[in-house]
Amino acid sequence: MTEPTLDPAPVDMPAPQISERLAGGKNGWVMVALALLLFGGGVGLVVLGLVRIASGGGSDAAGAAAIVVAIIAVIASLVVAAGLTPVAPNEARVLQLVGAGYVGTLRAPGLRWVNPITQRRRVSTRIRNHETGLAKVNDLDGNPIDISAVVVWQVEDTARAIFEVDDFVEFVAFQTEAAVRHIAGSFPYDSAERISLRENADEITGKLSEEIADRVASAGVKIIESRITSLAYAPEIAQAMLRRQQAGAVVAARQQIVEGAVGMVHAALAKLAEENVIELDEERKATMVSNLLVVLCADRDAQPVVNAGSLYH
């Protein structure tokens, strides 16, 4: 079999137009304390204003002013609270400011505070896996085969995952299936002379990982591993291909048996000649070689035949 040589994956995806940058944000717990302080102060001022208005005595203006300040404080507390953003482990928040585009990405886990008018999209950076359905594809020789694969992947660039494609999960699924179909159609299922899907699993899965990685790189996705999980001839030709494989196995076994038998016969003749056990002419050597080959290459145990006429001499 020729040495495996795999060319780079023929994938020409557009270059990404954006890259992730980190956004620090402020400590969320400090802003929680500020929001509670504003809200508590606003409630207190409302109560104080109502008390002044109820008591009369020319303090209506002061009471009204206290209520206005209280309303402003409560609204400010709600605005501050709106900027609180929890970030779970292995999760990121992509920030997009209305009218200004991409702002940055929060990756540090914990409670953070950002501008309340920013849109915060949650992106999981956990390791995921996707298994393709069983696809029927023609291999390089035109034989229909059933193939499926599993790919392990992770979001590496959250900005690209959000802004470069519509739905990065769906994008990975479609590109994985496209890569599996392309790989299956680029190599034969089984071949003794060429790289094949069945015999060169490590090289094929390496090629598959490379091609999927090239296809999804523009979406900010990193491919960790990919494996072919199911590979077989399609049912309509499975029996015919099984018979062909069986025939090939029988031929290979016969060839090995014959090579071994010839070696054993050669060793037997050499041993007899070396120890002068018996002197054989060419005709008797040919008969002996023929008999030994029949015995050694036969499917069944040899059954000796005794000439009955010789028993009466």
pLDDT at 1: 43
Q: Tokens 């002013």 sit at which residue?
A: 65
Average of per-residue pLDDT values in the chain: 82
Average pLDDT on 101-118 reads 91
Task: Provide the pLDDT for residue 3.
Answer: 44
pTM: 0.70
pLDDT, tens digit, 9 for 90 and up, residues 169-221: 999 999 999 999 999 999 998 877 788 888 888 899 999 999 999 999 999 99
3-state helix, strand, coil in the chain (%, to 5): 50, 20, 30
- Higher-pLDDT residue of 281, 76: 76
Note the pLDDT of residue 272: 72
Q: At the top level of CATH, which class does the domain 128-234 belong to?
A: alpha beta
| Cβ contact 223:212 at 8 Å | yes
Residue 151: pLDDT band with limits 50, 70, 90: very high
Which pLDDT score is estimated for 56?
Answer: 62
**Whole-number pLDDT of residue 229:** 92
pLDDT attached to residue 237: 67
User: 3-class SS at 83?
Assistant: coil
| pLDDT at res. 262 | 81
Residue-by-residue DSSP string for 230-280: EEEE-HHHHHHHHHHHHHHHHHHHHHHHHHHHHHHHHHHHHHHHHHTS---
DSSP code for 164: T
Q: What is the pLDDT of residue 30?
A: 92
**What is the b/e burial string over 166-202, where b = at least 16 CB atoms within 10 angstroms of the residue's CB?**
eebeebbbebbbebbbbbbebbbbbbeeebbbbbbee
What tens digit of pLDDT does each residue of 21-65 get? 998 888 889 999 999 999 888 888 887 777 777 776 555 677 777
- What proportion of the chain, given as a percentage, has pLDDT over 90? 41
pLDDT of the residue at 42: 84
Answer whether 48's CB lies under 8 Å from 69's CB. Answer: no
Q: How far apart are CA 311 and CA 115, in angstroms?
A: 114
- What confidence tens digit (pLDDT) does each residue in 226-281 have? 999 999 888 776 566 676 666 666 677 777 777 787 888 778 777 777 777 666 66
Q: Looking at the predicted structure, is the pLDDT value of residue 311 above 60?
A: no
At 307, the pLDDT band (50, 70, 90 cuts) reads low
The pLDDT value given to residue 63: 72
- pLDDT for the residue 17: 85
**pLDDT score recorded for residue 57:** 54
**What are phi and psi for residue 220, nearest 5 degrees?**
75, 25
